[in-house]
Structure 1
Amino acid sequence: MTLTRRLTALVLAPAFSCTLLLHTAPAALATNCPAVDAIAVPGTTQTNPKADPDEPVGVLGNILEPLRKNAPVRMVTYYTPYPATIVGGTDGGGYRASKNAGIDATNARLKAVSRACPNTVFILTGYSQGADVAGDIAAAIGHNRGVIPANKLLGVALVADPSQAPVGQPTIGLRDPGMGFAGVRSGGFGSLLQRNGLLSICAPRDYYCNLPQGDLVMRMIGHLGSQLDAADPSGSAQKLATIFMGGLIAPAAAAINQILQLVNDPNLIPNLISRGVAFAQALAQQLFYLAGPQVAGAATNLVNAVTNVINLVTSRAWAAIPAAITTIATTASSVGAALAQMKDRTTTINVSGFGPVGAGISQAGGVNIGDLAAAVLDAISIATGGVGSQSTGMFGPTFSQFSAANVAQAVKRFAAFIEGGFHENYATTPLDKAGHTGTQIVQRYFVNQINKLV
């Protein structure tokens, strides 16, 4: 039976005659352990610390409950209760505090069930802020820093991850590398990617997981808004502004590392043809708006060098390939050195103007767009005047994008995104070539993972 037919049979067939395990507290699981414990982390406003973890929530409930009811093995579902608030939330903690609480609550569930049921394996999923939570937990587990061993995590599905990374997180729904509204989760997912242990989906027009990479205004506001310390919004905004500038450089640096790995790979030629151009083009896109000519020019040379090798392979000019590969390595190293220099210079930028930006974002009564736009422009003006001429030149293309017109346009685009409901349509929007919705894609993935136990 094909995977598609197995999914259809699983989701649409009547429930199995055997009684599935009821939702049970971890302490009582020892005598009746499930084969699979499915943990779902709901999105912003979808839950709270006192919510019933057995109550299905939103798109995650629509994904998991048909699987639970018809699973070929015993499976329970658990919807993590946590604040699920954003900036200026009712608990005063804001997004970062809410996310940390979600991580703690989900890890507590993983540890409790794992101790009571040593043979139980887990699937983990999250939507929106919940995907941010689940993604951080999965990344830690994949790098052997989590609360359970990686081999006990059967699969992870992230829906609209606000920490979407352009490198190390292959995502269904996006043609180009995506970047999250809350910044980029660096380091990837370790061993999970090596065994198909992670699925990420994102609708192309969903800003929370696919913020336009060139829209630095919204990237900065998203980064600050998701990382502010609610106890000291002004002070933390000043510190975070420097981190944000460094974060702009990180994706390009990651792309450079990928290219250097390709050069040193014994399977260079097939890998270069399948992945090299994509990496080089992604790098050039990053640097186009980030850096001055000394870096962007080298990036263009790198794209040309990669393209040259592919042309040599196509024309079977084998004798010329070794020298061309050396050119790739040399050019990539040159770009990497320029990026390192840029990262060092971020500490010289005067970020004191970002204090009012942080205070504006954290307003309990809601963000005043006009005041926020003015604060952003003031902060950029201070930053531009607070660095030496050489550093200003290096970051000139970055600062120049924070004009009054660009800030106003970015806010307008974001308002259109909110009105369009692109973040809420994962049950109806086709995300792959076959026309499957996000809900269907995640269900298919989990069906495949669960069937490995049968």
Structure 2
Amino acid sequence: MRKTLTILAVIIVLVVVGGGAAQYLMRETSSPSGDGDRTPAPGESTEAAPETPEQPEWCPAYEFISAPGTWESSADDDPFNPQANSRSFMLSITNPLKEQFGEDQVRVWTLPYTAQFRSIQSQKEMSYDDSRNEGRAKLEGELKWMHGECPQTQFILAGFSQGAVIVGDVADDIGGGTGVIPAESVAGVTAIADGRRENGVGINPGYEVKGIGAEIALQPVTGLVQLVVPGASMRGPRPNDFGSLADRTYQICAPSDSICDAPHNIGNAAERAMELIEANGIHALYASNDKVIPGMTTNQWVVGWASKIINGG
């Protein structure tokens, strides 16, 4: 009995001494003059502030990505010196930017993709769906690679016609939180003659247009459309309305351009489908048409818009 009491007494002493030591250590570590780490105040984060990602010296401040329209690019074109179509509308934007800025300020990259549109008149061309998917995959590959190499570089995206659809789709995913780069890495987006354009989605810097993109207008009869343009899915509106990029995404459309300003009333589906193939007239005049944006042509506006971003304005 006496031995048992002795053992219990020793245990009690150890517990008391141990508890006292623990309290002493806690006081020491919480004291500003103690040798240990300071205990954070209530509500204070214990996590270290995130470090700014390292930016290699060669990285530009901005990358301007240009997506040409149908028949204005090719899969093997040089993204830094495109030669597929010397009359490509997007060259009237990228060439002035190259002349104005050094490579340390902006890297201009032009999307090299097949850019075709199979129809009953051109059966040997790549289908619109395949061409668009190829372009999107290449554009996202460039964004992902560049962001990985140069995490502080900001992106400016611009596209025309089929290229506008590709740029708009990529921007919609990024703004919706499912893109290949974070939305905060995108400084601005401009889609010109976008076949999925909607009024009230993005910002229209030009004259009012009352219609909608052809892919939205023709979605209810997409099966009939494919009789004229096989492999051209009419996908309707985008799901995210550009999400967090809506405040820096611009939609430019010439009034009566059947690609981006199609009537809400489908009318004759075959005729509407033929307009997709022909896409001439107003659709081909954005470099000279001064009835799209007050006081200037579309390419002049885009060059000014991009320049203002690059100059920090």
Aligned to 1:86, which of 110, 117, 125? 117
Q: Verify the 8 A CA contact 2:68 2:163 in the aligned structure 1.
A: yes
Report the residue type matching 2:127 in the other structure. G
Q: Distance in 2 between matches of 1:420 and 1:161?
A: 15
Shift of 1:90: 6.5
**Which has more radius of gyration?**
2
Aligned ranges for residues 382-397 of structure 1 at < 5 Å?
A: none
Aligned to 1:75, which of 102, 106, 117? 106
Q: Which SS does the other structure have where 1:59 is aligned?
A: coil
Q: Percent identity?
A: 31
Q: Which SS does the other structure have where 2:99 is aligned?
A: helix
Report the residue type matching 1:428 in the other structure. S
CA deviation vs aligned residue, 1:205-240 (integer Å, no higher than 9, x gap): 211111122243348954xxxxxxxxxxxxxxxxxx
Aligned ranges for residues 392-407 of structure 1 at < 5 Å?
A: none
Report the residue type matching 1:79 in the other structure. T
Q: Which SS does the other structure have where 1:171 is aligned?
A: coil
Q: Verify the 8 A CA contact 1:141 1:147 in the aligned structure 2.
A: yes
Q: Distance in 2 between matches of 1:97 and 1:105?
A: 12
- TM (normalized to structure 1)? 0.47
Structure 1 residue 141 and structure 2 residue 174: aligned?
A: yes
Q: Verify the 8 A CA contact 1:199 1:442 in the aligned structure 2.
A: no
Aligned to 2:76, which of 21, 36, 50? 50
Q: Distance in 1 between matches of 2:202 and 2:129?
A: 22
Q: Verify the 8 A CA contact 1:124 1:155 in the aligned structure 2.
A: yes
Q: Which SS does the other structure have where 1:182 is aligned?
A: helix
Q: Distance in 1 between matches of 2:167 and 2:74?
A: 16
Q: Verify the 8 A CA contact 2:106 2:310 in the aligned structure 1.
A: no
Q: Distance in 1 between matches of 2:279 and 2:208?
A: 23
Structure 1 residue 189 and structure 2 residue 223: aligned?
A: no
Aligned to 1:445, which of 300, 305, 309? 305
Give RMSD over aligned pairs: 2.7
Higher helix proportion (structure 1 or 2): 1
Aligned ranges for residues 186-335 of structure 1 at < 5 Å?
A: 186=238, 187-194=240-247, 197-218=248-269, 222=273
Compared with structure 1, are the counterparts of its residues 221 and 97 closer, same or farther at alpha carbon in structure 2 (3 Å cutoff)?
Answer: farther
Q: Gaps spanning 5+ residues in structure 2: where? A: 1-54, 217-235
Shift of 1:32: 0.9
Compared with structure 1, are the counterparts of its residues 91 and 118 closer, same or farther at alpha carbon in structure 2 (3 Å cutoff)?
Answer: farther
Compared with structure 1, are the counterparts of its residues 433 and 100 closer, same or farther at alpha carbon in structure 2 (3 Å cutoff)?
Answer: closer
Q: Distance in 1 between matches of 2:279 and 2:141?
A: 37
Shift of 1:451: 2.2
Q: Verify the 8 A CA contact 2:176 2:242 in the aligned structure 1.
A: yes
Q: Which SS does the other structure have where 2:155 is aligned?
A: strand
Report the residue type matching 1:214 in the other structure. N
CA deviation vs aligned residue, 1:255-288 (integer Å, no higher than 9, x gap): xxxxxxxxxxxxxxxxxxxxxxxxxxxxxxxxxx
Q: Distance in 2 between matches of 1:205 and 1:63?
A: 23
CA deviation vs aligned residue, 1:315-343 (integer Å, no higher than 9, x gap): xxxxxxxxxxxxxxxxxxxxxxxxxxxxx
Q: Verify the 8 A CA contact 2:116 2:131 in the aligned structure 1.
A: yes
Q: Distance in 2 between matches of 1:182 and 1:112?
A: 30
Provide the residue aligned with 1:95 in structure 2: 128
Compared with structure 1, are the counterparts of its residues 205 and 432 closer, same or farther at alpha carbon in structure 2 (3 Å cutoff)?
Answer: closer
Q: Distance in 1 between matches of 2:303 and 2:297?
A: 10
Provide the residue aligned with 1:59 in structure 2: 89
- TM (normalized to structure 2)? 0.67
Equivalent residues, number: 232
Compared with structure 1, are the counterparts of its residues 140 and 91 closer, same or farther at alpha carbon in structure 2 (3 Å cutoff)?
Answer: farther
CA deviation vs aligned residue, 1:76-116 (integer Å, no higher than 9, x gap): 11111111111246766400111111110000000111111
Q: Verify the 8 A CA contact 1:142 1:189 in the aligned structure 2.
A: yes
CA deviation vs aligned residue, 1:108-129 (integer Å, no higher than 9, x gap): 0001111111111111111100
Q: Distance in 1 between matches of 2:191 and 2:172?
A: 12
Provide the residue aligned with 1:430 in structure 2: 290
Shift of 1:191: 1.2
Q: Verify the 8 A CA contact 2:74 2:112 in the aligned structure 1.
A: yes
Shift of 1:30: 4.6
Q: Which SS does the other structure have where 1:105 is aligned?
A: helix
Q: Verify the 8 A CA contact 2:209 2:255 in the aligned structure 1.
A: no
Q: Distance in 1 between matches of 2:264 and 2:170?
A: 25
CA deviation vs aligned residue, 1:384-423 (integer Å, no higher than 9, x gap): xxxxxxxxxxxxxxxxxxxxxxxxxxx7xx49x9596211
Q: Distance in 1 between matches of 2:268 and 2:207?
A: 22
Q: Gaps spanning 5+ residues in structure 1: where? A: 1-28, 223-410
Q: Verify the 8 A CA contact 1:172 1:202 in the aligned structure 2.
A: no
Q: Verify the 8 A CA contact 1:206 1:422 in the aligned structure 2.
A: yes
Q: Verify the 8 A CA contact 1:38 1:76 in the aligned structure 2.
A: yes
Shift of 1:46: 1.0
